Structure 1
Amino acid sequence: MAEEEPIEIGFPMVAAYHGQSALAMAAIVFQAQRAAFALLSPAAMPARRDISIVSGHPGPGVRDAFEAVTRAVTRGAYVVDRSLPGARFAPGHDISYSFRITLGQRTAELALRPGVLPERFFELVFAKDRTAAQERELSALKRSVAEDVLAKEPDTLFTMRAN
């Protein structure tokens, strides 16, 4: 729910807002929001003004997907907390693939399930000096992951709990 009336935001809008640099993470966060809102507000459309976000991942695809849907960054309702304990898939990197989405007085905690992001994704993302071929491979992999994630039901991608 926007300021005055409902708006429908599909992934193409999120992708257009973000661009292509972190398309896989934008798709994951889009699906995380779908799952969280279904859990927190199954009977009514949530109002943007009532949503706040804590993200364990600082990346631009994460930030932009949350911003495009909720405007949480602009509203000052978005925080990155790299210490979130769930979904820590990148050893040696202080990143959690988990999120806390609060709607009013209720919070959904979501952690990406193992295997949603293939091991090759981490190898390429965290490679120090990628070759041109590796850059192309990573770009294709991000698109492939985004397509796979968007084809699945959101609740199959995350472990979730609400309080």
Structure 2
Amino acid sequence: MLTVLDAGTPIELSFDDLMKYHGIEFPGGVAHAYCAMRHAVSLLGSVERREIAVRTAFPGPGGRDAIEMALRAVTGDRFAVVPELGATERGPVLARYVWEFTYRDRTVLLRLRDAGFVTPEFIDLGARRDRDAADDARLTVLKQEMTDRLLAGAVDEVYEEVPPPTR
């Protein structure tokens, strides 16, 4: 469960809540954002949802929608996709799974652990533009398998905190 404050009132949000807002197409992106937000909040403590700024290398609509529902950061102009934030040295599978959360005077930078949460098959198939119906069906399975792996991990087992870059 993710708990944030809205004008001092706690709001509890589950993964299922975020999926109701997003829809069904990108559950993995929702799960990535959910796991990253849960870990960020565990490090930052109680946070006012409308005061958190988010930068990420992750461009997916599932992640954006999860951030918007939980933190209202998209409509509040506190959300940015920043490809340069990506950890390209980690290779194409892990590079863009980086999230930076800034709350008041503190910044937390998280990156996906190298623990098989995202598979090369998922990355390759997702990037293909010439997919047929069988490929799309396989991609749907891979999305759900990834989502299940992400949600099965404890709050600090999916994303790890790393030192923020100097700006």
Query: Do both proteins adopt the same fold according to a TM-score greater than 0.5, normalized to the shorter chain?
Result: yes
Unaligned runs of 5+ in 2: none
Q: Against the structure 1 CA distance between its residues 4 and 31, is the aligned structure 2 distance closer, same or farther, given a 3 Å change threshold?
A: same
The residue identity in structure 2 corresponding to 1:97 is: Y
- Structure 2 matches for 1:5-154, cutoff 5 A? 5-41=9-45, 45-86=46-87, 89-90=91-92, 96-114=96-114, 115-154=116-155
Q: Aligned residue pairs: how many?
A: 157
Distance 1:59 1:16 in 2: 17
Q: Which amino acid aligns with 2:10?
A: P
Structure with the higher strand share, 1 or 2:
2
Cα distance between partner residues in 1 of 2:67 and 2:163: 19
User: Alpha-carbon deviation of 1:63?
Assistant: 0.4
1:18 is displaced (CA, Å) by 0.8
> What secondary structure, in the 3-state scheme, does the structure 2 residue paired with 1:46 have?
coil
Structure 1: distance between partners of 2:44 and 2:98? 17
Letter paired with 1:128:
R
Q: Determine if contact 1:24/1:143 at 8 Å carries over to the other structure.
A: yes
Task: Give the TM-score of the pair, scaled to structure 1.
Answer: 0.89
Which shifted more, 82-91 or 130-139? 82-91
What is the distance in 1 between the residues matched to 2:38 and 2:58?
18
Q: Structure 2: which amino acid aligns with 1:30?
A: Y
User: Residues 106 and 162 of structure 1 are in contact (CA less than 8 Å); yes or no, is this contact kept in structure 2?
Assistant: no
CA RMSD of aligned residues (A): 1.7
% identical aligned pairs: 32
